[in-house]
Amino acid sequence: MNPDDPKRLLCLDIFRGVTIAGMIFVNNLAAWTDTPRLPRLTHAEWHGCTLVDLIFPFFIFIVGVSTAFSLEKRAKMGESLPRLYRHILIRTGLLFLLGLVTGSGFILGWLFQAICPPEVTQKSIWAIFLFPPLGSETYFFSLANLRIMGVLQRIALVYLAVSILLIHSRWRVQALVAGGLLLLYWGLMSLPGFHLEPGADLGAFIDRAIFGEAHLWRFSQTWDPEGLLGTLPAIATGLCGALTGHWLKTERDRSDKLIGLFLFGFFGIFVGTAWGYLFPLNKHLWTSSFVVYTAGYALMFLAFWYWLVDVKQVKAVWAQPLVWLGTNPLLAYCGAQIGGLALGTLYLGTPAQHTHLISVISNAIFGVDWDVVCQTSWRDPRWPSLCWAMIYLTFWTLLMGLFYRKRLFFKI
């Protein structure tokens, strides 16, 4: 990765940086899932699409854009097909493994709870590695309840599929595949006997049959928001990004490219909204309408940054922190995930009576009722949650800035 490459589109780094910032911010709004959040910073409970629901599809979209550029660069450098496949398969495997380690939290979570057991148990930490203590209502990280799918795991599978299609097909075929996947998924999810309700859809049935309930999202255990079947429309999201990459690589004038981005974006939002009346917008199910709708917004958002920094060439110094995050996205995301896991797992005290590090830090900064800053009218638990997320995001942004200054970029 060379961020100083004159041919590099700065809008892609900024787009990626905004997305990573959003992921870190939203994932750290609360120490636990029951902490109150501001309504506009909360995922839709089921059907619908909030601002927060745009973040993950935006990231998959930009993965598709970046993959179109990177594979073309490798092909121009004369890499053979076996070498390309070797790179793709290794990257896919490492992304999937990172998802198990950071997102599912298995290895690191198990190590953290070896240091700070969540409750008193007679079972050894090595035995817990395989199975959690019987009869315990406390969650223990172990192989028996390892969540197989997750954010990075889905990205890995999307990257694999999109890369193979980019190598062996042209943009028209890729567009047809994307459309075909969306129609196929709509048909499968409309099969009789299944319903678009939590745990009652075909995707949840497939995940329970293949993985078992113990290996699904631990907050439901009847369905997984990053399940196998939902990966099909997610691939279509990645292909939308790849098609955008093709458009940006053409020899057309920049103003024509910009108009195209805005027009396709408006068309996607319109079609996705209309389709949503038949097949509701739903991030948890990654419905076909959700793919088209979010791809439309991704195109509009990318078009704005393309116009600002690549067409008008505005020196957006204030956007530099986004570039720091955008040029080291994997390190920023995984680091923040590991840090959040540590803060929510490690504690001060004993297994019977303790205070987690996240509470120690937040209470020291804000006080139990925000009384440290003497704002009695703001004693709403959502405000400390919001401020903590900003502090945490700032820490990782500045750290990525240090890596950027030292020209240290982590990529796989």
Q: Classify strands 354-356 and 347-349 as parallel, antiparallel or unpaired.
A: antiparallel
The pLDDT score that the predictor gives to residue 34 is: 47
- Mean pLDDT along residues 281-307: 96
Q: Is the per-residue pLDDT at 170 higher than 90? A: yes
- Among 159, 321, 322, 126, CA closest to 239: 159
Neighbours of 38 (CB within 10 A): 12
What is the C-alpha to C-alpha distance for residues 141 and 108, in angstroms, rounded to an integer?
Answer: 9
Global pTM reads 0.90
**Which three-class secondary structure state does DSSP give residue 204?**
helix
Write the pLDDT tens digit of every residue in 210-245. Answer: 999 888 887 777 899 999 999 999 999 999 999 999
* Phi/psi of residue 299, nearest 5 degrees: -65, -40
Determine the Cα–Cα distance for residues 111 and 114; give it in Å rounded to an integer: 5
Cα–Cα distance for residue pair 150/230, rounded to 1 Å: 11
What's the CA gap between 84 and 187, in Å, rounded?
34
175, pLDDT greater than 70: yes
Give the model's pLDDT for residue 104.
Answer: 74
pLDDT surpasses 80 at 261: yes
Q: Which residues pair with 282 in a beta bridge?
A: 48
Confidence of residue 33 (pLDDT cuts 50, 70, 90): very low
For residue 154, give Cα distances in angstroms to 23, 57, 127, 235, 245. 15, 11, 30, 9, 20
Chain segment 365-381, per-residue pLDDT in tens:
777 665 555 555 556 66
Tokens of 186: 């709509």
pLDDT of residue 344: 86
Q: Which helix (H) or strand (E) is 263 found in, with range?
A: helix 254-275
Say whether 92 sits in a helix, a strand or coil: helix
Q: Measured between alpha carbons, how far is 249 from 19 in angstroms, rounded to an integer? A: 22
Average pLDDT, the chain: 87
* Of 41, 108, 55, 25, nearest in space to 336 by CA: 25
- Rounded Cα distance, 394 and 261, in Å: 31
Terminal C-alpha separation, the chain: 11
Reported as a single tens digit per residue, the pLDDT across 77-119 is 888 899 999 999 999 999 999 998 887 778 888 888 888 888 8
- Structure tokens belonging to residue 193: 């006997």
Q: How far apart are CA 409 and CA 412, in angstroms?
A: 10
